[in-house]
Amino acid sequence: MTLISPQQLGRRALLFVFSFFALLLLCASAQEQPAPKTAAQQFKNIQVLKDIPADQVIPTMQFIAGALGVDCEYCHVEHANDKDDKKEKQTARKMIEMELAINKSHFKNEIEVTCYTCHRGSRHPVGTPILSVNAAKMTEREHHEISAQESLPTADQILDKYLAAVGGADALHKIKTRVQKGTVDAAGQQYPIEIYSEAPEKRLSISHPSFGESVTAFNGQAGWLTTPRGVHPMNASERQSARIDAQIYFPAQIRELYQEFKVHPGETIDGRATFLVTAKGASTPPLRLFFDQQSGLLLRLIRYTETPLGSNPLEVDYADYRDAGGLKIPYQWTLTRTNGTFTIRVNSVQQNVPIDEKLFVMPQIPETPHP
């Protein structure tokens, strides 16, 4: 077993926080350009995935790191990602080619087999079945879920209860703007954050970690992230996810955003039994929604960002629901990805207050001079 020092854990956690607000802009060579480029055009020494969009390279690397439970330096030379000094990088290329070939030959180019299919968070895939005394219990649980399926409420019943629990559609649509201020807890550090929301789907957060101010924004059409390194425009997949976060009227609009719903027995979250509703739409990322069976409130949301090799999951756990102008909203949410977690705690909420529209104007990206 490889031991990880506290310093390494702190470094990983800080990298995660930076990745959420800046999508792991690890090197200047990954800075986005106004005109779309392929990976091979923007990055050095790309031998596999040459034709994917350049803005998909970093999310794809994040997916691989999460699937194997490793850091970037497991395959790459630190601060020299283009070098081929490590055997693991050569192996990764072969594994990517294998995954693409399997999906092309057996799954009509759909992403069914991924790195995680075999690795499950480990550097080395397990090829031998693991004997477990819990196997019988798993079978019993499956039987219980099958019998429970017959008595589940419909998706409409669950979503109606959710809308009523937060205060109802009329109260919801009275809210035009919302300004929240609080703190972010991550990597043993705490720093301020402000979140500005405007109906129906504008949202901007400004956090103040030690490495400099970070902004994550979506104005209904474009999304972007800014850090001391510069401005990163969101790609299509990232914008789809940001649009979900920006929905002030989400409880009332979910059936407009998604067309296909299925209900399943949910897991217990903080001692509360839940119903799981999976939601799929034509142009929105799939969601897994866990609703408190008693209160009807949303306790957990899991969404996915697509990459050429698989889906990066993001879990959001909601807690500390309080009344705010006739609505129940969470005053705490915890965000978890494969490489870490952090918590946002809200200290103050103001609704229907003026917000400077300049906040929702995407900054200009300076052109990079051609060599």
Tell whether 115 is covered by a domain. yes
**In terms of Cα–Cα distance, which of 180, 182, 173 is closest to 350?**
180
Both 171 and 55 in one domain: the answer is: no
Q: How far apart are CA 279 and CA 267, in angstroms?
A: 17
Q: Do residues 180 and 343 make contact, with C-beta atoms less than 8 angstroms apart?
A: no
Tell whether 303 is covered by a domain. yes
Tell whether 141 is covered by a domain. no
Both 156 and 277 in one domain: the answer is: yes
DSSP assignment of 149-175 equals HTTPPPHHHHHHHHHHHHT-HHHHHT-
What confidence tier does 4 reach under pLDDT thresholds 50, 70, 90? very low
In this predicted structure, what is the pLDDT of residue 129? 56
Range of the domain at 42: 8-119
Question: For residues 253 and 102, which has the higher predicted lDDT (pLDDT)?
Answer: 253
Q: How far apart are CA 278 and CA 303, in angstroms?
A: 10
In CATH, what number is assigned to the domain containing residue 55? Answer: 1.10.468.10
Both 165 and 310 in one domain: the answer is: yes
Residue 157 has pLDDT above 70, yes or no: yes
Q: What amino acid is encoded at 264 in this protein? A: H
Q: How far apart are CA 190 and CA 183, in angstroms?
A: 6
Mean pLDDT value of segment 273-280 = 96
Q: Do residues 162 and 296 make contact, with C-beta atoms less than 8 angstroms apart?
A: yes
In this predicted structure, what is the pLDDT of residue 194? 97
Both 114 and 156 in one domain: the answer is: no
What confidence tier does 141 reach under pLDDT thresholds 50, 70, 90? low
Both 184 and 67 in one domain: the answer is: no
Tell whether 145 is covered by a domain. no
Q: How far apart are CA 250 and CA 167, in angstroms?
A: 13
In this predicted structure, what is the pLDDT of residue 149? 55
* 17-72 tens-digit pLDDT: 445 444 434 333 344 445 578 877 878 888 788 777 777 777 787 777 777 777 78
- Angle in degrees, 0-180, between the axes of helices 250-257 and 155-166, rounded to the nearest 10: 150
Q: How far apart are CA 182 and CA 207, in angstroms?
A: 10
What are the start-end ranges of the H helices in 47-130?
Answer: 57-68, 87-106, 115-119
Residue 254 has pLDDT above 80, yes or no: yes
Q: How far apart are CA 346 and CA 193, in angstroms?
A: 9
Q: How many domains does the chain have?
A: 2
Tell whether 369 is covered by a domain. no
Both 156 and 115 in one domain: the answer is: no
**Average pLDDT in the chain:** 82
Helix (H, G, I), strand (E, B) or coil at 291: strand
Of these ranges, 34-38, 92-96, 264-268, the one predicted with the greatest mean pLDDT is 264-268
Mean pLDDT value of segment 92-99 = 80
Both 44 and 160 in one domain: the answer is: no
In this predicted structure, what is the pLDDT of residue 366? 65
Of 95, 119, 143, the residue that ends a domain is 119
CA-based radius of gyration for the chain: 22
Cis-peptide into 200, omega within 30 deg: yes
Please give the model's pTM, rounded to 2 decimal places: 0.73
Tell whether 143 is covered by a domain. no
Mean pLDDT value of segment 193-218 = 95
Both 220 and 274 in one domain: the answer is: yes
Instruction: Tally the residues of the chain.
Output: 371
What contacts 24+ positions apart, CB below 8 Å, involve 314-320? 314/241, 317/269, 319/270, 320/345
Both 176 and 114 in one domain: the answer is: no
In this predicted structure, what is the pLDDT of residue 197? 97
What confidence tier does 351 reach under pLDDT thresholds 50, 70, 90? very high
In this predicted structure, what is the pLDDT of residue 307? 80
Pairing state between β 340-351 and 177-186 = antiparallel
In this predicted structure, what is the pLDDT of residue 124? 76
Q: Do residues 22 and 59 make contact, with C-beta atoms less than 8 angstroms apart?
A: no
Both 166 and 288 in one domain: the answer is: yes
Mean pLDDT value of segment 224-240 = 88
DSSP assignment of 295-350 equals T--EEEEEEEEEETTEEEEEEEEEEEEEEETTEEEEEEEEEEETTEEEEEEEEEEE
Both 109 and 12 in one domain: the answer is: yes
In CATH, what number is assigned to the domain containing residue 294? Answer: 2.50.20.10
Tell whether 256 is covered by a domain. yes
Nearest 5°: the CA angle 237, 63, 226 is 55
Both 169 and 55 in one domain: the answer is: no
Tell whether 367 is covered by a domain. no
* 112-125 tens-digit pLDDT: 778 877 887 777 77
* 280-304 tens-digit pLDDT: 988 777 899 999 999 999 999 999 8
